[in-house]
Amino acid sequence: LLHLKKEKFDTILLLMNGTGIFQKLGLVSNYLQHLKTLLNKNGQILIDSSDLRYMYDTGDEEGSIFVPFGSYYGELEFTTFYKGLVSEPFDWLYLDPQTFGDLAIENGLNFEIIGKGENYDFLAKLTFI
């Protein structure tokens, strides 16, 4: 994605947990800024993610979740296996809607949830502010 420089699109479609390619929470702004350079004036980004909060122990009545210090609960490391082949581990990011919406706005993009699934997944539309 980051190698695209001169192309312009009306719609950029990032599905199957499209936020995964952002890798880490700290890289989201870099990706969003780059995606903006690829959009035509009235373009849109359609992207999905899942809120992984349900996977964590809440631990108290307030609904707090316990995650390792200094990390975001949607940052995961994956390794893929196929017919005896094993990939190098790679980072993959699941963003919750609130965090994603805040980051989109900070980066000059409107954030609208246009679809919700049964498993804490959602489809968002990003457009220029």
Bridge partners, residue 81, by sequence = 86
Percentage of the chain beyond pLDDT 90 is 84
Residue 38 has pLDDT above 80, yes or no: yes
**Sign of torsion over alpha carbons 85, 83, 19, 5:** positive
Question: Options 3.10.150.10, 3.40.190.10, 3.40.50.1700, 3.40.50.150; which CATH number does 9-128 get?
Answer: 3.40.50.150
Q: Which residue has the tokens 């899942």?
A: 50
Please state, rounded to an integer, the average pLDDT across all residues of the chain: 93
Cβ–Cβ under 8 Å, residues 55 and 34: no
Phi, psi at residue 60, to the nearest 5°?
Answer: -155, 175
The model carries a pTM of 0.89
Read off the pLDDT of residues 76-127 as tens digits, 9 standing for 90 and up. Answer: 999 999 999 999 999 999 999 999 999 999 999 999 999 999 999 999 999 9
Q: Where are the domains of the chain?
A: 9-128
